[in-house]
A and B are shown apart, each in its own frame.
Chain A
Amino acid sequence: NAGVTQTPKFQVLKTGQSMTLQCAQDMNHEYMSWYRQDPGMGLRLIHYSVGAGITDQGEVPNGYNVSRSTTEDFPLRLLSAAPSQTSVYFCASSTVGRELFFGEGSRLTVL
């Protein structure tokens, strides 16, 4: 049982490049979400999904896109990377009313 799997673990981008952070869960959870963690800011919600085909914005959605075509996968797309998007990104999943399961994180540096 792998839980929540994020790839890649580390990535360096140049300003203006695009990329996709992958997230997959094998627990058949309805809810999936993306957070970013920054020093002094804590974890902040970027986007979330309550089921396949349903996504919505969190607290800091600008510059990011998501889609949820299957229950298992919830990729996060950076359209045109900016230095302000340098952060550690965490994907999480859960079922209704239960605890969140987090991935190990993806460390992104934008130069």
Chain B
Amino acid sequence: DAKTTQPPSMDCAEGRAANLPCNHSTISGNEYVYWYRQIHSQGPQYIIHGLKNNETNEMASLIITEDRKSSTLILPHATLRDTAVYYCIVRVRQGGSEKLVFGKGTKLTVNP
């Protein structure tokens, strides 16, 4: 089962910041939070990941709460091409294996 919960859908105006929340209250201390997005009929695209500290790259910023029970992905200036399903994922490592456990994600629609 997915270790994260996200709202099923969100809307954002073009040019504005999109803030996508994610709850991961059962995350373990050494588990990373990953964000991917999937545009219709394509493979998931990696966006960003973090463990404890806030992270920023050319695509987005990731804000992780101090207790690590939730995080927010920020797209600073959303464009129409950012319309996609956004997945917040906890990377699970068990024994010698590892995997990403996806939920249903948040469908972000950027409106003109």
Q: Do A and B associate with each other? A: no
Chain B interface residues toward A at CB < 8 A = none
Chain A interface residues toward B at CB < 8 A = none
